[in-house]
A and B are shown apart, each in its own frame.
Chain A
Amino acid sequence: MQFKNLLKVSLLALFCFFIVPAMAQNKTISGKVTDSKDGSPITGASVLAKGTTAGAITDVNGNFKLTVTSAATTVIVTYIGYDRKEVAITGGTLNITLEASSTSLNEVTVVSIGYGSARKKDLSGAVASISAKSFNQGAIINPVDQLSGKIAGLVITQPGGDPNQSASVRLRGQSSLAGGLSPLFVVDGIVLDDPSQFQNIPPDDIASYDVLKDASASAIYGSRGANGVIIVTTRKGSAGRTTISYDGLAGTSTQSKYYDLLNSNQLRAAVPALGALDHGANTDWQKAITRTAYEHRHNVSISGGSNEFNFIGSVNYADQQGIVINTDKKQLGLRFSAEEKALNDKLDIKAGIQNVSTTRSFIDYSNFSYIYNTPPTYPITNPDGTYYAYSDFNQANPVEHMQQSVFRAYEYLTLINGSADYSITNALKVGVVGSITRNNVQTHGFIPSFPLEGNVNQAGQAQENTNSYKGNIHINYDKTFGKSTLTLLGGYEYNDYLYDNFRALGQEYITPDQQDNNLSAGNSLFNKIYSYKQEYLLISFFARATYNYDSRIYLTATIRQDGSSKFGTANQRGYFPSFAAAYRFKNDLLSNVDWIDDIKIRAGYGITGNSDAIGTTTTLETVGPVGSYYNAATGTYPNAYSTNQNANPLLKWEQRKGRNIGLDFSLFKGRLTGDVNYFNDLTSNLLFNYTVPTPPFVYPSILANVGSLTNKGLEIALTGQIVKGPKFNWTTNAQITFVKTTVTNLSGVYSYAGQTYPLTAPQIPVGYAVGRGLSSNPITFLKPGYSPYVFYLPHYTGTDASGNQTFDGKTIAQNASPSGHYIDPAPKFTYGMTNNFDYGNWNFNFALRGVSGQKVFNNTLLDVETITRLPGNNVTKEALTNGIKDAPVSSDKWLEDASFLRVDNATLSYAFKNLSFANSLRVFISSNNLLIITKYRGLDPENKTENSSGGNVLFGNNLNGSSNQAYIDANYGGQAYYPRVRTITLGVNVSLK
């Protein structure tokens, strides 16, 4: 009953609101609102007569018409992303131009903060935002490349030039040793099941990124927030005339650098009696496996709507060749999203569906080592056009292997989401969100039998399904009392994650042309099938309260309770609180200081978690097959069953306690803006497989929460409008980040059933040098007091008279296994800088990015710059002159300075104006990886900076180089480096009228 009365009163008030002014004496004004830069009309801008409630919204052509009282003298024009403007009412038509706003503390910039949004100026946590106009440009196919080098604290590393490799995305250093390291990706409010899924989303669909950097901001994501959160907002339709836009680009890529291997004449000179090794050819095997790669990308989108309804639909197609033969990625994306408002805008319904189909073609990374091993005197093909065949340990024709082996994957990613929000009162809203994610990956493989190699052909297929069902119910309350504004949020969330796979393999096919299309046709003895399934639940409650006093003092508190079926029963639910406060000086203390537009200090504390390392059944005592035994009586090979693991029923999330203080500022009327953050985070309960004594334990390690590490850092981001004029503008964006990650402890106790067991790990071996004669000896370690993956290497001190290497003065003959020294490979700081120049219709933009103080172990040169490889394996020219005559030994000689400064991108564009057929038309030419300055002698200093495992493995081949070892650049086995590329791109962006 009360509710109905309230409704009546509200409607009456609303009625009066509109009717009353109309009773006074009126005049009508009209005009047009345009962008000051290119003159394009601004649709949806708000025009309000000052001192009254009369207002209008501009139409698709930027026009408005407004009836005001005769007393009105000024209109106020506002639009998101533009500076507010007051214009005097004159007699005629008002032509109003708005300038794009540039202050980072802008009044109206809205930022997603997880389960809601806030105005940028009201934030109390460390949140960085970037919208489409500031994205990196050029040949962007992977959306994360839009962000690379742009945001302080965010490091995006492409581990090579393979279009099928995922980039690594890291925020504020490494905070886990066994779990995932990527920030959580949230797309339109939906948390992606696997952060790498985001890298399949077409970049043109993305409108903005909001990066929740500190724990006070990311704690609302609880046990998944420890690595930070990247909130992605996709493009939306807007009210107005339906617009059709097209974005397209086409480019070519080439390998950016080669190793200096011997050519045939150099080999003949180095080895006078080549004899049977000389087949008369001069093959550059590095170039034999590579090509000029073409890529093109197209995006057509249609958007439009009215006040109640808006939609956007888009189709994307991208075809990206890799520079190595037989590596390709083709992607078709379809997306549709719509929003409907109903019941007097009280009900807001949104729905979206996105489907991305990706076809990938891979090569086996272990084939890369053949290009370094094969002498250049071997031809690629015989005179009759067939492949020249040869075979030796770690030697085979790489072109033949890469061309004739088939590894393909078909991926189908579907994201469906819907939400409904209802405003019960102006202050109180309730809403529900639901989503379904399905990711299906089908892998196909066939390895033929190669002449002279004696191998049997193999075929296989694999299916993987990663599905999830997610939903939440939330309540928002937002009320202003005098100078105070209180915002409350409460919610419940349910997530169900499923994964299953199925794999079938066969071998010895007498009709190899059928490849993997008739798996049972081979030798039935070797037919193998596998399947697996797992599921876990994550059920949460969360709440947030923000308080704002007079836009000066801000307080935020959040709490989340996460319950996961993965956790041990004693620790099944965890609590993740956060607090933050901010103070804006401008509104009182500094209100008279002209050159300061705004200044705000912030401080925050929060607790976040990471539980990726915990498997779905790691806490449970389970049994499963552990291998086959022979039952001679029946002549069969049944499975033996035993316990799968040392179960740890106490497992829980890793806990990151984050502390952050920050300063945001805007000076000189927005000419200089920026922010500074200092953070000091402690991660404890680090999950790792700590060693335990066997017996009584059945397995030598147990996953337990024992260790700890710290991340400390300073981030500075600045944006300056260096030149601001009517025709020429120069804007610079720069950021620098110092992060130090230190493993502080790897020891502790693990108590179970009343007993306390010590878990001790003074140092844990992690990375190994690879290559012939280099196995079994770790070179990187986790060790308390050092950053993760600290090197422990013998110190190279030159060679003795006969060319034997010495380590701390002794040869290997004198000391077969010299002891090492600890050397920290982590970068001291990373930085990025973007310069943007506008001159009339021209725009020139270039982006620099660099890393300082990083070291990379050049395992490739350790192997290849070795004269003992001759004559049967090729070497670099340096091998002939470096004076080393004995076999390769891992030492600090190969741990090279891998600092670099890269011109990531340079783009020149021209925008046509005042076209009859288009709202806007822009053409550009762009180059990626234009230039790099580094002392590193490998193909590229930007390499693997952490360990990862798993990947797309069908027959045990490594198809994407994923068994990377941190800071180790290798060419052996599956750990090869896919060469980085330099790309030139031409492109066009057009929005049709």
Chain B
Amino acid sequence: MKRKRIYITVCAIFLAGSITESCTKLKQNTYSVVPVNNFYQTPDQIAAGVAPAYIALQNIPDGNVNQMNEITSDEVIVPTRGGDWYDGGQWQGLWLHKFKPDVFVDGGWSDLNNGIGKVNFTLSILNGLAAKPSNYGSIVAELKVLRAYFFFQLTDMFGDIPLVTDYNTDPSKVIQVARKDVYTFLESELTTNVPLLATNVDKTTYGRVTQYAGYMLLAKLYLNAQVYTGTPQWTKAITALNQVINSGKYILQPNYFDNFSTNNDGSSENIFVVPFDKVNIGGNNWEMQTLHYSSNLTFGLTGQPWNGFCSTADVLNKYTDPADARKAQYLVGQQYAADGLTPLQDPQANLPVIFDPNITSLSDASGLFRMKGARNIKYHPEAGTSGGQSNDMVIFRLADAYLMLAEASLQNGDAATALVNVNTVRARAGAAAWTSEDVTLPNLLDERSRELGWEGWRRNDLIRYQVATGTHYFTGARTPAKVDDGDTHTFVFPIPSPELISNPNLHQNPGY
């Protein structure tokens, strides 16, 4: 009897114990995600953990950053066609330089800061690993140079920016750093880390930051030094560019368009690209943004494009040499179906699709206005897609290096070098060689538009030339509707309202 009682007591205690232990324990299982401490253990995991900084880059060449740099310039316009593309006036506002600290501008800010945040996170994790990977040094250098690209774009667009380089920074202490100090930081960061980067240009470095991509970035920084600091650095820019050009790793692609084609990963000219793929990496929607609703019949697209981005006659008129192959990036005139014979018709306007670059107004509800504007097919549309093209998008390429070298040399008083370099670029395009009289800054600026149209540098170029020459390249009048305001506060965008809210330490840029 007593034994039985003991037995019952033991059972009861055991039962009560198991209830309080297992029936009140709140353990959280993670099935589909990995606790951060269990990751970064194998070389594959390290590789996958470094890559997010490159994922962030996928938003740049065809996202808000590109649009903010092109639609604010003379190269790209997004007119309001009927009701289409009004979107609260944001596209008209870009063209007219009536920038607002809105959700759209915040998109550009966020895309760039996303890259910086991802790099900081990865650097912090790698720094905390007990067993560092063997290539730790080169990984850190690569990530820092990639981060420098995001910082460069951010300060170019927004001026004084938060310069957060440590993931563990106290968020309440994040303040803006003056643009010239960002410049100093970037110069130091790049001169320290670029020499540590890979110099092999092959499949192992495709789509990644190499030494040459690093020097291109450094050259961009120096080329714009006058804008950022008030002091030009033409010689330093030339030195950095020569690191790229004289490396012998790159030659101009004989056919200009091969740099942008669907399978452009064989380009011998592209120095730094963002890979895209119709199956695996979405984000290149070039064909959708520019082409007409009916253009899917021309290019075999699986959906109707959006009839948005286009160029005015001023852009096409820069191609003064009829032999210039680069003009073919713009579509004008009657469009045809894939057979090349059937004229395209706009069913909703009930008119033939004839692209007309003569845009005289920013907004028009007429059917004819739907066909206005030259369309850009530099990145050739890919049949079987509706956006999500496979064309890898270019950030740096050799032709840009030649034109930058020409500009820096001319600014430095070396017109001869400028002439040689610009003619190298023109020759590839089939355009007639310049003579020494042709080598002027305005002509060089036009040449940049012919060569680098829609590639995301135009705003940067116009501001730099305006600062260097005083001519109102950026703030001046443009057809249609843009007046010469001469107001240089638009050299930088407003700090987006959501950012001012989330970080009260930030102050708005002057004039906004």
Contacts and interface: CB of A to CB of B under 8 A. Distances in A.
Given A695-B116, A773-B85, A643 B51 contact: no
A719 B453 CA distance: 76
A696 B169 contact: yes
Given A644-B33, A695-B162, A454 B39 contact: no
A791 B502 CA distance: 23
B121 interface: yes
Interface stretch (A108-116, A357-365, A886-894, A985-993): A886-894
Interface string A589-629: 00000000000000000000000000011011111101111
Interface stretch (A4-12, A270-278, A289-297): A270-278
Interface stretch (A80-88, A710-718, A750-758, A947-955): A750-758
B229 interface: no
Contacts of B118: 642, 698
B48 A638 contact: yes
A275 B349 CA distance: 11
Question: Interface centre among B49, B88, B265, B349, by most A CB within 10 Å?
Answer: B88
B49 A617 contact: no
Interface in B265-311: 265, 275, 277, 279-281, 293-294, 296-297, 300-307
Contacts of B122: 642
Given A277-B350, A392-B294, A630 B85 contact: no
A632 B174 contact: no
A630 B110 contact: no
Given A696-B164, A765-B103, A773 B300 contact: no
B52 A533 contact: no
A640 B208 CA distance: 14
Nearest to A278: B350
B304 to A, nearest CB: 4
A816 interface: yes
Interface string B202-237: 011111000000000000000000000000000000
A391 B28 contact: no
Given A454-B296, A455-B303, A692 B350 contact: no
A274 B170 CA distance: 65
A3 interface: no
Contacts of A536: 28
A926 B87 CA distance: 47
Contacts of B23: 492, 494, 539
B89 A456 contact: no
Contacts of A526: 279
B48 A641 contact: yes
Contact of A630 (B84, B100, B277, B350): B277
Contact of A889 (B45, B86, B345, B365): B86
A775 B386 CA distance: 19
Contacts of B58: 627
A985 B167 CA distance: 65
Interface residues of B, number: 102
Contacts of A276: 345, 347, 350
B501 A642 contact: no
A850 interface: no
A767 B291 CA distance: 29
B487 interface: no
Interface string A25-63: 000000000000000000000000000000000000000
A629 B35 contact: no
A761 interface: yes
Interface stretch (B90-98, B371-379, B399-407, B438-446): B90-98
B172 A758 contact: yes
A395 B348 contact: yes
A773 B34 contact: no
A567 B27 CA distance: 11
Nearest to B24: A539
A982 interface: no
Contact of A641 (B45, B166, B265): B45
A626 B296 CA distance: 31
B29 A772 contact: no
- The A interface is mostly helix, strand or loop, or mixed, namely loop
Given A691-B498, A872-B347, A535 B87 contact: no
A639 B279 contact: no
A566 B28 CA distance: 7
B333 interface: no
A899 B501 CA distance: 36
* Residue among B36, B86, B300 with the highest chain A CB neighbour number at 10 A: B86
B279 A632 contact: no
A696 B302 CA distance: 41
Interface string A380-420: 00000000001111110000000000000000000000000
Contacts of A619: 28
B292 to A, nearest CB: 9
Residue of A275, A392, A873 contacting most chain B CB atoms (<10 Å): A392
Nearest to B164: A695
Contact of A777 (B87, B120, B174, B304): B87
B504 A760 contact: yes
Contact of A391 (B100, B113, B121, B304): B304
Interface in A566-595: 566-567, 572
B28 A565 contact: yes
A107 to B, nearest CB: 40
8 contacts: A563-B24, A623-B34, A626-B55, A633-B204, A644-B33, A698-B118, A765-B103, A774-B86
Interface of B: 19, 23-24, 26-37, 39, 44-45, 47-49, 51-52, 54-55, 58, 80, 82-90, 92-93, 96, 98, 100, 103-104, 110, 113-114, 116-118, 120-122, 162, 164, 166-172, 174, 203-207, 265, 275, 277, 279-281, 293-294, 296-297, 300-307, 345-350, 363, 365, 367, 384, 386, 498-499, 501-504
Given A628-B281, A632-B204, A762-B501, 10 more contacts: A453-B303, A500-B31, A563-B24, A624-B33, A630-B281, A639-B48, A640-B51, A691-B502, A693-B503, A775-B87
Interface of A: 273-277, 390-395, 453-456, 492, 494, 500, 525-526, 531-537, 539, 563-567, 572, 616-617, 619-624, 626-630, 632-633, 637-644, 690-700, 755-762, 765, 771-778, 812-813, 816-817, 863, 866, 868-869, 871-873, 885-890
